[in-house]
Amino acid sequence: MTMDDQATRLSNRPLPALFEQQAHRSPDRPAVVCESDSLSYGELNAWSNRLAHWLISKGVGPESVVAVSVPRSIGLVAAILAVLKAGAAYLPVDRDYPAERIEFMLRDVRSAALIDEHALAGDYTAFPDTDPTDADRRTPLTLAHPAYVIYTSGSTGRPKGVVVPHRGVVTYLAFLRELAGLGPDDTVLNLASVSFSPSVRDIFGPLVMGARLAMVPQPQAKDPLALLAVMARHQVTVLPALVPTMLSALAEAAESPVPSLRLGLTVGEALTTAHTRGAGAISPGLRLVNQYGPTECTMVATFHAIDDDPVDGRHPIGLPVPGAGCYLLDEHLRPVPPGVAAELYLGGEDLARGYVNRPGQTAERFVADPFGPPGARMYRTGDLARRRDDGVLEFAGRVDDQVKLRGNRVELGEVQAVLAGCPGVAQAAVAVREDRPGDQRLVGYVVAASGAAVDLAEVRGRLAELLPDYMVPSAFVTLAALPLTPNGKLDRKALPEPAATAGTGRAAATAAERALCALFAEVLGLP
């Protein structure tokens, strides 16, 4: 190992200290770029230091939470770094969220301050540009203090704030360094919304390892053509938070490859062969690694390098990352044998503290770990998985995605994987809809591949060959594109209701037939 390798190893220190080490080691190296704007490590460190000292002067410190409501830009990175340097945790506020949700988050977390564009543009020249130390902060900053709070959808209808300490982030970044080999020659694209936990690896992966971070302005963040242009212009090498739906969209939009791109880390959704089969159009040398992990376990719990196509169309989620515990347990918390699907529980030091002001939900999801040391916890994911004989984990859907239709259990992920593999289909989604009370039905949504037309009758026939009758959608909808959330995931709530289709039979010819048709229409809620 060279002296430079030794110098750049990650130390067991909080996030701001890791960034400061890199900034002092290479102050003139480009740190972040956004369109035509760029900052070196030294410039970014000085800007965030002044902001941090201003926050400290306002009483902000460890265990405080500061909301950051800044569009994707270099300023967003400086604001997040400033909050961490002050010792506080940052709460990302996505501008695409409804105003009511944003108000709830700020009130729920009791934000000590808010950094927006107005605050970011203030004059902080009176504050020093030196690194804040524990002597400056109101109390020493440790790995146990929160680094960020990210709100996720709640089963009760209210979002839940997940509190993640520095320890989990630093542990993951050490693993990412080995996995991705990030270094000074790399440029990493920030694909994930700042309110989506994978954005943490987008931002801090490159910044603690001497690479360059390329930020994408919000209007371009969900536009595949714009993203491909950004990747080509900045010679992006790594996509660390690539949602499978966006992977398919990039492959469909790619008119020419991005030769510099070498690695994509997929996250956020189940990965199928339909997502990966066009990856070569983005870059011939693109290597894909599938990662799995909820927000509650600091981004990632398992990983799997993609090197072949699985028989069932769904790529595994892989093996546990170092230090993570992955347990497949039945309803009595007993381990199940290989090949048996069961709920996945996650253990290890990477777990979040819990949910903001939700002691009941925290106790329900973060339970005692009977397989770990005294006091250890594990997180109940609500995800189903099965373990192969070689130890590799396969995702088997959600506990709440296993729906029952007319007494039959249906796994939506299985139907979606088969639908996505049909000829001419580039992307697919499956949902259970109840557009009329009491009338639940399975609906398939497809996006045609570029230059192809999807024959829905052929699709229905294909599914009928591979799936039981009760798992074949009763209706299909062709879309120009799948709707996405601000995080780049499939927005199931935005999937449209299928239009009613007229039959091919003759019209009613008698009074009795007309009355019978009227009764059926009334019962079915149709014209």
The band of 400, judged by pLDDT with boundaries at 50, 70 and 90, is: low
Sequence-distant (≥ 6) Cβ neighbours of residue 446 within 8 angstroms: 419, 422, 425, 427, 428, 454, 456, 459, 476, 477, 478, 479
Q: What is the pLDDT of residue 416?
A: 86
The span from the CA of 164 to the CA of 167, in Å, is 8
Phi/psi for 127 (5° steps) reads -100, 145
With 80 as the cut, is the pLDDT of residue 411 above it?
no
Host H or E run for residue 100: helix 99-109
Q: Which residue has the tokens 């120009």?
A: 480
Summarised one tens digit per residue, pLDDT across range 121-176 is 999 999 999 999 999 999 999 999 999 999 986 544 578 899 999 999 999 999 99
Summarised one tens digit per residue, pLDDT across range 335-369 is 999 999 999 999 998 899 999 999 999 999 999 99
| Cβ pair 484, 461 in contact under 8 A | no
| Cβ pair 447, 412 in contact under 8 A | no
The span from the CA of 149 to the CA of 109, in Å, is 8
DSSP assigned state of 131: P
Q: Which one is predicted more confidently, 97 or 495?
A: 495
481-496 per-residue burial string, b: 16 or more CB within 10 A, e: under 16: ebbbbbbbbbebeebe
The span from the CA of 323 to the CA of 339, in Å, is 24
With 80 as the cut, is the pLDDT of residue 284 above it?
yes
Among 236-240, 440-444, 469-473, 484-488, which range has the highest average pLDDT?
Answer: 236-240
Helices (H) and strands (E) in the chain, counts: 15, 25
With 90 as the cut, is the pLDDT of residue 418 above it?
no
Mean pLDDT of 418-435: 87
With 60 as the cut, is the pLDDT of residue 222 above it?
yes
Q: What is the pLDDT of residue 409?
A: 59
For 117, the token pair is: 């564009």
For 4, the token pair is: 């430079």
For the ranges 108-117, 291-300, 385-394, 485-494, which has the lowest average pLDDT?
A: 485-494
Q: What is the pLDDT of residue 234?
A: 96
Query: Strand pairing of 377-387 and 393-398?
Result: antiparallel
Beta strands per DSSP E along 144-211: 146-152, 160-165, 187-189
Q: What is the pLDDT of residue 100?
A: 82
Q: What is the pLDDT of residue 298?
A: 87
Identity (one letter) of the amino acid at 191?
L
Q: What is the pLDDT of residue 396?
A: 86
Mean pLDDT of 437-462: 86
Average pLDDT, the chain: 89
| Cβ pair 191, 246 in contact under 8 A | yes
- Helices 15-25 and 74-86 cross at an angle (nearest 10°) of 120
Q: What is the pLDDT of residue 408?
A: 60
With 80 as the cut, is the pLDDT of residue 8 above it?
no
The band of 493, judged by pLDDT with boundaries at 50, 70 and 90, is: confident
Mean pLDDT of 307-336: 90
The span from the CA of 413 to the CA of 411, in Å, is 6
Judged on CB neighbours under 10 Å (0-12, 13-18, 19+), 195 is: buried
With 60 as the cut, is the pLDDT of residue 5 above it?
no
Query: Strand pairing of 377-387 and 342-347?
Result: antiparallel
Judged on CB neighbours under 10 Å (0-12, 13-18, 19+), 101 is: middle
Of 309, 379, 384, 329, nearest in space to 349 by CA = 379
The span from the CA of 129 to the CA of 22, in Å, is 16
For 236, the token pair is: 């992006």
Mean pLDDT of 291-316: 89
Residues in the chain: 527
DSSP assigned state of 498: P
Sequence-distant (≥ 6) Cβ neighbours of residue 331 within 8 angstroms: none
Summarised one tens digit per residue, pLDDT across range 254-275 is 999 999 999 999 998 888 888 8
The span from the CA of 219 to the CA of 164, in Å, is 29
DSSP assigned state of 127: S
- Predicted model pTM: 0.79
Beta bridge partners of 287: 263
| Cβ pair 269, 487 in contact under 8 A | no
Q: What is the pLDDT of residue 2?
A: 37
The band of 438, judged by pLDDT with boundaries at 50, 70 and 90, is: low
DSSP assigned state of 259: T
The span from the CA of 44 to the CA of 27, in Å, is 9
